[in-house]
């Protein structure tokens, strides 16, 4: 969840690293720090509690000069977010620093051993054991061989860790290593310069030639290139890949927040998601990267979707899509539950992981579990080259472009669109779709980006959401209701409001309302009702009546021209008419915008809400 950036070359390391950290701040913003070997040959460290801006201000007052350096933004796991616990952590002689993303699970035991050996700890972090271990091996056992000392240290660690090591005794190199599912370690190749980053947006403006470290791999990096090896020191031949993302896509541009940009670019991102995947002549979906034959798809008897957070809610929509279109039973599981409940997984099952970052530790572990049982695995993933993209049998890239805002928006609509494509693809292979139905679905999805663009343009031009936010931002509780394929949209709408406005919101299956939550209804608890003209429209109208009968306020996501809803609800959040199976993708957008506008008025830092991080790489 933390962000790491390293640089070695001819530029100012501090400025390259600071720029990179700005692109990674979504990963953690409890504290930040940097170490650079200055022109005097000594290692200098700057650290500050709080957001990156605090470190930037410190660097203005006390600049770092030098061409090799490493930086870190922290999401606290061990010890409170304060300067003492900020990375980089330094060895007792001050010559060596380490930054880490991950957790040292056996840290208590290692700390005790090191204390017995005379090491004094200056922080509460697990990372500090790593720097002391390297220091101890370097002086005792590795005979001054830093690479060997790092390898020996890594053998002592339990749990996932990505680390970068910099020493003033070896000022012309950085050492990067990865243990387990600690999140990405991307190594970027430049001309006479090299970069390290937890995620590629940090270094995209410098290079698109990237090599990723896998579990138990390390790299010794100089300005000229990288030598890859395993933790035993055996050399590895690794291939770099060319990343096609446009660096500008990871910038905010004219928008106030990344989240705002990512909401309003969904017309474009959905076009990209569909790019190259619809064959209008044959009326078929093409998903070449799925890498599974029609025979394999025909013999499947179950699909299991695993994911976390917003991606999990996308998976719930996927259940409706795949069951209706491909007539295959689908189970959707929180990845964090799946991995620990001894699930029944067979080779005849397809396990689909959905993950924007491709780094979520629970989702990666669920995939491992599925593979261990011989299931076919597919990842729907946004981050190009990420771990999830590399470990599955098949792959569907969301093609949404970098998502930086902590609250996921365009990745949600992209992943639901991908699930729609997957449902058709499975239906094609399994013969559950006749020509007419296939053509109907393909025409419907082709129209989707235009409908999304129209919805978002109207929202951008008008004042509806600003006025609503003004009216509702001080309410303490909200209820979201949906039914059928839009039930997961109620869950997702509530999650969006919770995570960026800190308002309590509950998503509920509308039909369950009478079984308890109806007791909550009063003037103080607005109810968001998702009610497009779909097969459960009549039921949703009854739901609205029931809330109104109890004095509740109703905000309905409904078709703009729906006069029935207009007459019954207090407010209508309009969406255009679309195919029923695609309504979730449009219905979620008003909820994203409303959450954003409410959060603004509550003064929350929308892109970096408290306690959260974009990639959850620790358990």
- CB-wise, 130 or 494, nearer to ligand M6R? 494
Output the smallest distance, CB 310 to ligand M6R, in A: 3
Helix or strand run (H / E) with residue 43 = strand 43-49
Report the residue from 142, 198, 304, 311 that binds ligand M6R according to the rule CB under 6 A: 311
- CB-wise, 363 or 578, nearer to ligand M6R? 363
> Looking at 410, 496, 568, 614, which residue is catalytic?
614
Q: Are 410 and 266 in contact (CB under 8 A)?
A: yes
> Looking at 2, 261, 392, 498, which residue is catalytic?
2
199 binds ligand M6R (CB under 6 A): no
Q: How far is CA 130 from the centre of its chain?
A: 27
Residue nearest to ligand M6R (CB): 309
Q: Which stretch binds ligand M6R (CB under 6 A): 150-158, 217-225, 303-311, 326-334?
A: 303-311
Q: Which stretch binds ligand M6R (CB under 6 A): 4-12, 99-107, 207-215, 609-617?
A: 609-617
- CB-wise, 68 or 585, nearer to ligand M6R? 585
Listed in sequence order, the DSSP H helices in 373-463 are 387-391, 410-430, 435-461
Report the residue from 308, 557, 591, 595 that binds ligand M6R according to the rule CB under 6 A: 308
- CB-wise, 146 or 366, nearer to ligand M6R? 366
213 binds ligand M6R (CB under 6 A): no
Residues in the chain: 619
- CB-wise, 312 or 320, nearer to ligand M6R? 312
Q: Please confirm, yes or no, whether 308 is among the known catalytic residues.
A: no
Through-space distance between the first and last CA atoms of the chain, rounded to whole angstroms: 10
Q: Please confirm, yes or no, whether 614 is among the known catalytic residues.
A: yes
Which residues have CB under 8 Å from 100's CB, separation 6+? 2, 4, 72, 87, 89, 126, 127, 130, 161, 162, 163
Q: Which stretch binds ligand M6R (CB under 6 A): 86-94, 166-174, 265-273, 400-408?
A: 400-408
- DSSP states along 504-573: EEEEEEGGGGGGTGGGG-STTS-EEEE--SSTTHHHHHHHHHHHHHTT--EEEEEETT-HHHHHHSSEEE
Give me the phi and psi of 267, to 5 degrees please: -60, -45
428 binds ligand M6R (CB under 6 A): no
Report the residue from 391, 491, 616, 618 that binds ligand M6R according to the rule CB under 6 A: 616
Q: How far apart are CA 499 and CA 599, in angstroms?
A: 9
Q: How far apart are CA 345 and CA 303, in angstroms?
A: 10
CA dihedral 368, 77, 499, 306 (to 10 degrees): 10
363 binds ligand M6R (CB under 6 A): yes
Strands 89-90 and 96-102 come out as: antiparallel
309 binds ligand M6R (CB under 6 A): yes
Strands 68-74 and 3-8 come out as: antiparallel
Report the residue from 211, 217, 260, 357 that binds ligand M6R according to the rule CB under 6 A: 357
604 binds ligand M6R (CB under 6 A): no
Catalytic residues: 2, 614
What is the binding site for ligand M6R (CB under 6 A)? Answer: 308-311, 355-357, 360, 363, 406-408, 499, 612, 615-616
């Amino acid at each position: 969840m933390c962000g790491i950036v390293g640089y070695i070359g001819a530029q100012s390391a501090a400025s390259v690293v600071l720029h990179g950290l700005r692109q990674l701040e979504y990963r953690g913003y409890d504290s930040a720090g940097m170490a650079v070997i200055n022109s005097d040959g000594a290692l200098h460290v700057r650290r500050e509690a709080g957001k990156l801006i605090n470190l930037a201000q410190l660097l203005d007052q006390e600049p770092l000069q030098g061409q090799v350096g490493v930086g870190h933004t922290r999401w606290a796991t061990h010890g409170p977010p304060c300067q003492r616990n900020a990375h980089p952590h330094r060895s007792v002689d001050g010559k060596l620093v380490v930054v880490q993303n991950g957790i040292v699970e056996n840290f208590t035991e290692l700390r005790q051993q090191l204390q017995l050996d005379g090491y004094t700890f200056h922080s509460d972090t697990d990372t500090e054991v790593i720097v002391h271990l390297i220091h101890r091996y370097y002086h005792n056992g590795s005979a001054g061989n830093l690479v060997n000392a790092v390898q020996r240290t890594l053998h002592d660690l339990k749990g996932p860790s990505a680390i970068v090591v910099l020493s003033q005794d070896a000022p012309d190199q950085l050492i990067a290593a990865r243990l387990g599912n600690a999140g990405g370690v991307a190594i970027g190749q430049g001309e006479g310069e090299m970069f390290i980053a937890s995620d590629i947006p940090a270094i995209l403006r410098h290079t698109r030639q990237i090599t990723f470290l896998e579990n138990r791999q390390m790299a010794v990096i100089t300005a000229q290139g990288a030598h890859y090896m395993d933790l035993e020191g055996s050399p590895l031949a690794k291939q770099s890949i060319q990343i096609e993302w446009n660096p500008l896509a990871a910038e905010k541009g004219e928008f106030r927040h990344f989240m705002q940009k990512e909401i309003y670019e969904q017309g474009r991102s959905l076009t990209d998601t569909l790019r190259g995947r619809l064959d209008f002549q044959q009326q078929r979906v093409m998903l070449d990267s799925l890498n599974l034959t029609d025979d394999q798809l025909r013999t499947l008897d179950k699909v299991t979707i695993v994911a976390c957070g917003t991606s999990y809610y996308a998976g719930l929509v996927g259940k409706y899509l795949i069951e209706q279109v491909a007539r295959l039973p689908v189970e959707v599981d929180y990845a964090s539950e799946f991995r620990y409940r001894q699930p029944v997984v067979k080779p005849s099952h397809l396990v689909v992981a959905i993950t924007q970052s491709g780094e979520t530790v629970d989702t990666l572990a669920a995939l491992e579990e599925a593979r261990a049982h011989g299931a076919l695995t597919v990842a729907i993933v946004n981050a190009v080259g990420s771990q999830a993209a590399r470990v599955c049998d098949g792959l569907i890239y969301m093609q949404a472009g970098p998502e930086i805002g902590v609250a996921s928006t365009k990745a949600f609509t992209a992943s639901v669109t991908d699930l729609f494509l997957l449902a058709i693809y499975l239906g094609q292979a399994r013969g559950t779709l006749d020509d007419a139905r296939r053509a109907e679905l393909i025409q419907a999805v082709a129209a989707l980006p235009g409908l999304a663009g129209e919805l978002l343009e109207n929202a951008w031009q008008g004042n509806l959401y600003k006025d609503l936010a003004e009216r509702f931002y001080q309410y303490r509780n909200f209820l979201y209701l949906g039914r059928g394929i839009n039930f997961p949209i109620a869950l997702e709408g509530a999650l969006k409001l919770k995570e960026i406005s800190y308002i309590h919101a509950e998503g509920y299956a509308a039909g369950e309302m009478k079984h308890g939550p109806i007791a909550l209804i009063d003037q103080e608890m607005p109810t968001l009702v998702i009610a497009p003209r779909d097969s459960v429209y009549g039921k949703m109208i009854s739901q609205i009546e029931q809330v109104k009968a109890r004095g509740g306020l109703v905000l309905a996501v409904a078709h703009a021209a729906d006069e029935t809803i207009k007459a019954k609800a207090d407010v209508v959040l309009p969406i255009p008419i679309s195919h029923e199976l695609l309504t979730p993708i449009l219905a979620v957008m008003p909820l994203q915008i409303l959450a954003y506008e409410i959060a603004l008025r509550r003064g929350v830092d929308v892109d970096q809400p408290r306690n959260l991080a974009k990639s959850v790489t620790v358990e």
